[in-house]
Amino acid sequence: MVSKARNVSGTRSAQKKVNSQSPATAAPVTSSSNGASPSNGESLRKLYALLLRCRRMEEKISQSPGLAEKYDFVVGHEAVAVGAAADLVDGDTISTSRRNVAALAAAGITSRELLSGCEACGCHATGLLSFSSLSEGPFHTGTGIALAHKLAKQRHVVVAIGGEDAGSLEAVRDAMKLAGSGKLPIIYVVRNGVGEDGGYAPHLKPVSLLARDGGFPGVIVDGQDVVAVWRVAQESIHRARNGGGPTLIDCRMDAARDPLAHMEHYLRKRNLWDEAWREKLETKIRAEVEG
């Protein structure tokens, strides 16, 4: 599933972490929003609103007959898609599975479209977003699109969101080597989930090392912290848009933590929480989802 989306003006707080080491030798960097420079309240509230919208859409669709087997629900993992896709611009691309509800919701698809199933057909448009179904994995497909942007000398970027569906390590390795050698404008975002034994998914453990093999930065980030994902994504997008090449964002997940609750706590700490605003937001989102 590929979507063209909107843009962003990136923050610069994580730029030094991304660029401070030589990409060919840089070890993965760990990033968190804790202790990072404060962002403006409007941006932070926007992130919370997108998280809540994703959650309510997932809840609605999961309760709809015939759709549960059609989509992948990652309730509690919405921060990955929201943080990575929140501020893309028209002409940029999201490459993801057409089953990824959180990514589709973060990109702007409505619950009505998902409930009608129209995203599964060849192509459709909503506002500035257009989607088309593709059979390749998101990393492989996204790399091809990034190569096309590069050859056309465009400043568009690709955000490729994967996890268990990211494809074989061999295919990912080839894609990343191509992206690194060509300085392609792509950000690989991995949802590194928790396995049955409580550890990270075995087939995803070496993914961050693949970034090193490709000669570009790999950043380990708290996948339940939408602000942390967002900040690293914005720095990575800024870098890619200006010819700096790819970045891999390895989002480590913790099933015991909820990104919505974490974000509420984050807003409260910064005196940005308002119950009346939250209730108004909930009413608006539920009206959209139920409508």
Intervals of the chain under pLDDT 50 = 2-38, 119-134, 165, 196-198
Q: How much is the pLDDT for 261?
A: 94
Separation between Cα atoms, residue 182 and residue 199, nearest integer Å? 34
pTM of the model: 0.80
Q: What is the pLDDT of residues 11-44, one digit of tens each?
A: 222 333 333 232 333 334 444 444 444 458 889 9
Strand residues in 72-181 grouped as ranges (E)? 92-95, 123-126, 129-132, 158-162
Superfamily of domain 2-290: Thiamin diphosphate (ThDP)-binding fold, Pyr/PP domains (3.40.50.970)
* Residue 179: its H or E element: helix 169-182
Sequence spans of domains, the chain:
2-290
Strand-by-strand arrangement of the 186-192 sheet:
29-31, 218-222, 247-252, 186-192, 158-162, 92-95, 2-5, 129-132, 123-126
Interhelix angle for 138-151 vs 169-182, to 10°?
Answer: 20
Q: How many residues does the chain have?
A: 291
- Terminal alpha carbon distance of the chain: 25
